[in-house]
Amino acid sequence: MPHAIWRLLVTDPTDGPMNMAIDQAIMEAVAEGRVAPTLRFYAWEPPCLSLGYTQPISEVDRERLAARGWDLVRRMTGGRAILHTDELTYSVALPADNPIVTADIVESYRRLSGALVAGLQRLGADPQADKRADGHRGASTGPVCFEVPSHYEITIDGKKLVGSAQVRKFGAVLQHGSLPLGGDITRICDALVYSDDHQREVVRERVRRRAATLEDALHAIVPWEDAAQTMAHAFADTFDLELDAATGLTPEELERAADLRTGQYTSDDWNARF
């Protein structure tokens, strides 16, 4: 890839609707050429269940979700549900003509996975980025992202370690994803609808077999700040980037994000649309 300058954002923890609003505001600004391609790392406070763009809201037990104090938001990307807690979340927003993403979606996943794998290796893990054929992707239709195969999913010892999703619109490409740093990967089952407690435990065990956290891989907790810094360096080296951390979100992006949060991402017209 030719040498390029990207903006690096490490934003303060915030709620799910605002996190998704910020990602969209960045994507729109990148598409319009108002800001440079942007790599962002962020966290969620409080924990939040995010749904894929077309995932049915009927799969969520909203009473159980509220009882645990967890947020709910629908992403503009596809995929299945993720419980965002104890994790490092990344997003990459690029113009649609950027060479990293000008190929098809599968190839762009492969290229971006290269940076993620490099970062995980620097953290001490031994991950793999496994290509999944479309037929295999349909092998599991459960509600949980980390039990469903995906293109170039990143695994450790055969278990899914990073869940990512991508959308192309506005003349830009946004890919964001979740790296669980620790904790119980099966907690998500506490907020989803199952026929009974037995079925919930069956799915919990299936998620435990198919998914892992970075703590599982390393037998140690990596501090959030260390993980973000290491992954940023890996992106810079993989794509020959100069990362500009001095330029934060613009006033226009902040205003747009605030509008999106209240007008879209906290609304049942959006979150319960399917």
Q: What is the mean pLDDT of residues 94-119?
A: 95
Domain of residue 30: give its range.
Answer: 4-271
Q: How confident is the model at residue 135 (pLDDT cuts 50, 70, 90)?
A: very low
pLDDT at 37: 98
**Annotated catalytic residue 145:** yes
Rounded-to-integer distance, Cα 90 and Cα 110, Å: 16
Indicate whether 138 pLDDT > 60: no
Indicate whether 31 pLDDT > 60: yes
Q: How confident is the model at residue 134 (pLDDT cuts 50, 70, 90)?
A: very low
Starting at the earlier edge strand, list the strands of the sheet with 48-51.
Answer: 71-74, 48-51, 82-84
Catalytic pick among 9, 25, 35, 145: 145
Indicate whether 130 pLDDT > 80: no
Q: List the CATH number of the domain containing 255.
A: 3.30.930.10
Contact (CB, 8 A) for 180 and 89: no
Distances (CA, A) of 132 to 146, 154, 155, 173: 14, 11, 12, 21
- Whole-number percent of the chain with pLDDT over 70: 95
Q: What is the mean pLDDT of residues 202-217?
A: 96
Q: What domain count does the chain have?
A: 1
Query: What are residue 164's DSSP bridge partners?
Result: 177
Distances (CA, A) of 137 to 12, 80, 149, 201: 34, 12, 5, 23
Distances (CA, A) of 163 to 63, 78, 86, 196, 245: 26, 11, 14, 27, 25
Rounded-to-integer distance, Cα 128 and Cα 218, Å: 15
pLDDT at 149: 60
**Which has the minimum average pLDDT: 112-116, 132-136, 204-208, 237-241?**
132-136
